[in-house]
Amino acid sequence: MKKELNGSMNELLSSLEVFYHKLQSYHWYVKGSAFFTVHAQLESYYDEVSEEIDEVAETLLMIGGAPASTLKEFLKLSKISESEGVYVKADELLPKVRDDFALLEKLAEEVKTAAEEEGSALVSAKMDDLIESFSKAIWMISQSLMD
């Protein structure tokens, strides 16, 4: 396994981990007229991201890599920033969530490229699933922001 693939998968893993906690924070601190809908959707997102975290880490182990596993590593490697832990309206947080999904999609595409260059069909296929999931979330959030 090449260093590039290990590195790009750890960036994705770390970004997913920080995003998971960001979604939880938004779930706790969302406010406004869309509270019930957005509160439930954010929980759905972080439940899904939790599974994706495990998939990426286990895939990395299966190909002989070493997944990041500490909060310190996650924060250092993540391309996603933490939330501020303050109340925020749904119409203010949804664009941020959409943008984070777009960043995750880009990271998954980079992992896929590195995997294909290395000939790792397993990683490439896993990234296809993530790219589809992130793309759908981006589309759905974008639709909800249209008025």
The per-residue pLDDT for 71 is: 97
**Confidence at residue 100, expressed as pLDDT on a 0 to 100 scale:** 98
Is the pLDDT score of 3 beyond 90?
no
pLDDT digits (tens, 9 = 90+) for 113-136: 999 999 999 999 999 999 999 999
Does the CA dihedral 51-55-113-77 come out positive or negative?
Answer: positive
The string of pLDDT tens digits covering residues 61-111 is 999 999 999 999 999 999 999 999 999 999 999 999 999 999 999 999 999
Give the pLDDT score at 2: 77
- The H or E element that residue 30 is part of is strand 30-31
Residue-by-residue DSSP string for 73-99: HHHHH-SSPPP--S-EEHHHHHHHHHH
1 has a pLDDT exceeding 70: no
What is the rounded CA–CA span in Å between residue 123 and residue 82? 27
